[in-house]
A and B are shown apart, each in its own frame.
Chain A
Amino acid sequence: MSSDKKYVPSSPTAKWVEDRLPLMGLIYSSLGSGFSAPRNLNYMWNFGVLAGFMLVVQIVTGIVLAMHYVPHIDFAFDSVQHIRRDVNYGWLLQAIHANGASMFFMVVYVHILRGFYFGSYKSPREILWFLGIIIYLIMMATGFMGYVLPWGQMSFWGAKVITNLFSAFDFIPFIGDGIVEWLWGGFAVGQPTLNRFYSLHYLLPFVLVGVVILHIWALHIPGSTNPLGIDADGPYDKIPFHPYYTAKDAFGLGVFVIFYSIFVFYMPDFLGHPDNYIKADPLITPAHIVPEWYYLPFYAILRAIPDKLLGVIAMFSSILILFALPWLDGARIRSMRFRPLSQFFFWIFVVNTLFLGYLGQLSPDDILVFGWTALTFAQISTFIYFAHFLLIIPLVSRMETTKSVPISIAAAVLDANKKV
């Protein structure tokens, strides 16, 4: 991007440092005035920054919670209550961290759907998209292990069910048989399991930081996409990241933090499950095991398939299929603004996935309408989910008649201004 300005140190001291370690220049050209972004980004482009903010919040609150938490099956449950009741501001830090997981997933889901809608995964941003999926997978692992740490009934049984998923691979020679015992460090979820989950829950966020840096690096090669999906070309299409988008992100962050605070201060347990206030008991399974809300659609897919191995494969495939998206979608236009049929199916996909989430928290035998069970609906929805990727996207993207695309971002923006 030749239009980007270069960092010029303003004082001799700054120049002395910059000659030896060009750190200010790196920040300037990646998050400051030296990085330019398309002039027409809307608020959907706030969510990457919000996700980065949530990662920092989770790491900072997590580190201080680790100063009080005890990763032992006899004390873990009580230590979380100790944090909430006795530790100074523990109630606040615990609520920020526990709800933070939900907020992190919420903004990441919007961020992913933004990428979906505006074709951010398309050439030349495939690797950027892959890194995003890897971030999401690491987030899922981290969130799962974090939910085990309070050692309530849902923690324990969630851990048991999820680790048992790997027993579906027991047909693999040599490693298949012992894989679950290897994960547990015993014959059941117990002390070794809790201890290692704690270790990994502490580690993985820092792995996330590394992958996020790669994600931002990959982003800065082609630069951001934009709602029109056309390449930003020349200085008229772009504005410096600072102050324009730093200001826009700051405003979005303010609105988001208000939303987040409503949960933290007024309903800190709204997104949790009451059974997790019962200490883990290996002899009693709760009548109804549900994962956290952000895993529900995938849980519904798992349960929709009556065969254990195929169910596990379907669940993993439902996420891994995202890796193929850049090639499943054959459209030459990125943004769905100009792809009306794709846009229509996109919203079907969103509603269907939300519906899968709704089904995921029901009991499979629950009857919805016409005497059809939640299981039947989950099977239909799972079919639609995969059909969207394997049938609808490949066909519609290659066959639909698109609307005409503006010649440049500047032209589109100036045109819109004229109409007002």
Chain B
Amino acid sequence: MTTNNDVAEERRNFLYIATGAAGAIAAGAAVWPLINQMNPSKDVLALSSIEVNLTNIPEGQSAVFLWRGNPIFIRHRTALEIAEAQASDTADDLIDPEADADRVQRPEWLVMSGVCTHLGCVPLDQQGDFGGWFCPCHGSHYDISGRIRKGPAPTNLPIVEYVFLDNTTIRIG
């Protein structure tokens, strides 16, 4: 049989928990703006695309562009380099295996992020053991398709989103 006391105690426990839960939610809601203010602001998010004229990049050369504060590598690859990249599709030392064909829209144009996937340095062009890029910070070697072959970086240089507006212009972002 429940006495009045038991009922009162149950009510009190319920009120404790309900008050505590409401307080926790309120505290979380109050803290969220303080945390979220550190995320990229609207003006930073708005700076999202650039157009690049490819006619200025001769065959066998690379160019670097700044997009969202980070370097973008665009390489005009030679037939030899394309062949080399495709031949390495089955190499044993690919840390993050990916076919060269999946990394380009047109094989002569390699457009990718210029940020080392290890700790964010900018790899140097045409250096390293695989004729591609070499990151001087901690020794990551990328091949001519931007794939990681040797060193501490965990993934290939990411391909960024881009479209060919015409045969000589691309828009990144």
With contact pairs A178-B39, A187-B69, A365-B139 given, residues A308 and B122 touching in the complex (Cβ less than 8 Å): no
How many residue pairs at the A-B interface have CB separations less than 8 Å? Answer: 89
Q: How far is the CB of A56 from chain B (nearest CB, A)?
A: 30
In the complex, the answer to whether B137 meets A161 with C-beta atoms within 8 Å is yes
CA distance A109 to B115 in the complex (A): 35
Question: Which residues of chain B in 111-143 are interfacial with respect to chain A, using CB atoms and an 8 Å cutoff?
Answer: 115, 118-124, 135-139
Please tell me which one of the listed residues B69, B119, B121 contacts residue A188 in the complex, with CB atoms under 8 A apart: B69
Q: How far is the CB of A373 from chain B (nearest CB, A)?
A: 10
In the complex, the answer to whether A283 meets B66 with C-beta atoms within 8 Å is yes
In the complex, the answer to whether A186 meets B38 with C-beta atoms within 8 Å is no
Q: How far is the CB of B151 from chain A (nearest CB, A)?
A: 8
CA distance A364 to B136 in the complex (A): 10
Number of interface residues of A (CB under 8 A): 36
CA distance A307 to B39 in the complex (A): 28
A248 at the binding interface (Cβ < 8 Å): no
Smallest Cβ-Cβ distance to A159: which chain B residue: B120
A114 at the binding interface (Cβ < 8 Å): no
With contact pairs A192-B41, A306-B152, A365-B139 given, residues A282 and B69 touching in the complex (Cβ less than 8 Å): yes
Q: How far is the CB of A376 from chain B (nearest CB, A)?
A: 13
Q: For the complex, would chain B's binding face be called helix, strand, loop or mixed by DSSP majority?
A: loop
CB neighbours (8 Å) of A186 from chain B are: 40, 44, 68-69
CB neighbours (8 Å) of A365 from chain B are: 139
Smallest Cβ-Cβ distance to B68: which chain A residue: A187
CA distance A287 to B137 in the complex (A): 7
CA distance A363 to B124 in the complex (A): 15
CA distance A1 to B121 in the complex (A): 56
Please tell me which one of the listed residues B122, B138, B153, B154 contacts residue A303 in the complex, with CB atoms under 8 A apart: B138
Q: How far is the CB of B158 from chain A (nearest CB, A)?
A: 12
In the complex, the answer to whether A283 meets B119 with C-beta atoms within 8 Å is no
Smallest Cβ-Cβ distance to A161: which chain B residue: B119
Can you list 27 A-B contacts (CB < 8 A)?
A: A157-B121, A160-B121, A161-B120, A161-B137, A164-B118, A165-B119, A167-B119, A181-B39, A183-B38, A185-B44, A186-B40, A186-B68, A187-B40, A188-B68, A192-B38, A196-B38, A283-B66, A283-B71, A283-B122, A285-B136, A289-B136, A289-B137, A308-B153, A308-B154, A363-B136, A363-B139, A364-B139
Residues of chain A whose beta carbon lies under 8 Å from any beta carbon of chain B = 157, 160-161, 163-165, 167, 178, 181-190, 192, 196, 282-289, 303, 306-308, 311, 363-365
